Structure 1
Amino acid sequence: MLKERLRWGDPMAHLVKKKYPEPVLPNLGENEKMKESGFVIPQDIPNHSWLKRGLDAAPNRYGIRPGRHWDGVDRSNGFEKDMFKRTNEKQARDREAYLWSVFDM
């Protein structure tokens, strides 16, 4: 029963199909008291997001695409960029070694 309850501010609520449809909760973030308190949960994709700008985000090792909870900015220490660079260099070196090995055939 508790798993099927609809909670305010749940970002994944629109993906769950309910057996018994419940009324949609009102957006309480529009309330003046909520705005004054500073507790506002954004419900839309920000304008600076990769999705709105139409660009591809930098790749990451998990293949996570930016959305409304992550803007796609790489705030890491550079490990993933170096990892992708090493992987691509190794693939290029292996491909070149293969082409050299079958050159005479």
Structure 2
Amino acid sequence: MFSGVRAGLVSADVLRKEQQELRKHEKSNKHLAEESRHSETVFRDKSGRRRDLAQEQLEQKQKAEAEAERGEQARYIDDQDLDQMLREQEREGDPMADFIKRRKAKENKEKEKPRYKGPTPPLNRFNIWPGHRWDGVDRSNGFEQQRFARIANKKAVQEMAYKWSVEDM
């Protein structure tokens, strides 16, 4: 079997011995499992030597920076970087410069959630203003309003009763 014990009809003595051997084997391998649980993964190259990933990433970054610094040797008419750079340049006396500035400012501004621009809405229990999540329409049957009115009325009556009771003191 896969577990290392015999299959079929086995006597109690043989079974006990096999169980003891299995326990002994598990105990001897337990410390290895603990060690491997907290160890870091080792990456190796084709020849079997350890790879230093941090060093490799640093080299790749330096190589990419050097390549970006070098740039292309020749510029062509359909070069997108050149085209973008020329489009972004501001020229003196450009009649569309003001329009482009406003459009860029509008694009760069963070997208805002739509805000409610209307009369003050009725308060709701969460104090949420109408906007993109709620249109401000009260669709309740009035139960909450009545309940809060009753609670406020009860509190006012209790306060009046208390003041009346301590008035003579």
TM-score (norm 1): 0.44
TM-score (norm 2): 0.30
Structure with the higher fraction of residues in helix conformation = 2
Higher RCO (CA 8 Å, separation ≥ 6 residues): 1
State the structure with more CA Rg. 2
